[in-house]
């Protein structure tokens, strides 16, 4: 996806994009390692955006795996579908998406990879998204997202980490990925 498309969408939808640049390959690699994508049978990506993590997911996931990407921005969805024809993308918001339309009863995601701008969201939206997504994560499954270094100390960043602690089995933090704009690190949360 072109940088021009990203900048255009950022200008028009800055509240929902929440990034100044697409995530770097270094951050994508750290996310894939943390999420254990190479062994996941069912993968959910929240906010695939321009496809920075999607490319890494497609490269790392087993051929037999199932993937679902939930993206709010229709322009991004329309550009992702032809690029990743074997993957499924839905234009929807994660807090209302009906996951039962994707898998049979009892089937759950092994890993959730999120590119959503959590610190830009109010607590109610953070709770609504996690409340809709986490019940569809398998026991022992992994929820992985990232935070920009420094921004995680803002009140909304601390609130989000606390919410992850409340709703999962605990949160681990990776080393900082300095080769990202801005530098970022990964949160790894497991479902009890």
pLDDT in tens, 147-181: 999 888 889 899 999 999 999 988 999 999 999 99
Per the listing, tokens 């681990």 go with 172
Are 81 and 73 spatial neighbours (Cβ–Cβ below 8 Å)? no
- CATH number of the domain to which 171 belongs: 3.40.50.150
Are 115 and 46 spatial neighbours (Cβ–Cβ below 8 Å)? yes
What is residue 84's predicted lDDT score, i.e. its pLDDT? 98
Q: How many independent structural domains does the chain possess?
A: 1
The pTM score is: 0.88
Higher per-residue pLDDT: 16 or 160: 160
Per the listing, tokens 């995680």 go with 152
In-domain check, residue 37: yes
Task: Identify the domain containing residue 182 by its residue range.
Answer: 26-190
In-domain check, residue 5: no
In-domain check, residue 72: yes
How many CB atoms are closer than 10 A to CB 13?
A: 14
In-domain check, residue 1: no
In-domain check, residue 79: yes
How large a percentage of the chain has pLDDT more than 70?
89
Average pLDDT, the chain: 90
Sequence-separated (6 or more) residues with CB below 8 Å from residue 139: 191, 192
* Closest to 103 in 3D by CA, of 90, 115, 121: 90
Longest dimension (CA), the chain: 42
131-148 as b/e: b if 16+ CB within 10 A: ebbbebbbeebbbbbbbb
pLDDT band for position 11 (cuts 50, 70, 90): very low
């Amino acid at each position: 996806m072109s940088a021009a498309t990203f900048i255009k969408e950022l200008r028009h939808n800055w509240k929902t994009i929440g990034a100044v640049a697409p995530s770097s390959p270094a951050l994508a690699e750290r996310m894939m390692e943390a999420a254990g994508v190479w062994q996941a049978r069912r993968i959910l990506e929240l906010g695939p955006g321009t496809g920075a993590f999607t490319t890494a997911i497609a490269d790392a996931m087993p051929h037999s795996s199932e993937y679902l990407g939930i993206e709010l921005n229709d322009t991004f969805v329309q550009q992702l579908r032809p690029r990743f024809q074997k993957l499924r993308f839905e234009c929807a918001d994660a807090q209302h998406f009906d996951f039962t339309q994707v898998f049979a009863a009892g089937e759950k995601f092994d890993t959730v990879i999120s590119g959503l701008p959590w610190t830009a969201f109010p607590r109610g939206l953070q709770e609504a998204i996690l409340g809709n997504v986490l019940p569809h994560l398998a026991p022992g499954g992994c929820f992985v997202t990232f935070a920009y270094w420094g921004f995680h100390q803002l009140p909304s960043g601390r609130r989000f980490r606390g919410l992850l602690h409340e709703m999962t089995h605990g949160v681990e933090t990776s080393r900082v990925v300095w080769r990202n704009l801005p530098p970022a690190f990964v949160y790894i949360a497991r479902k009890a």
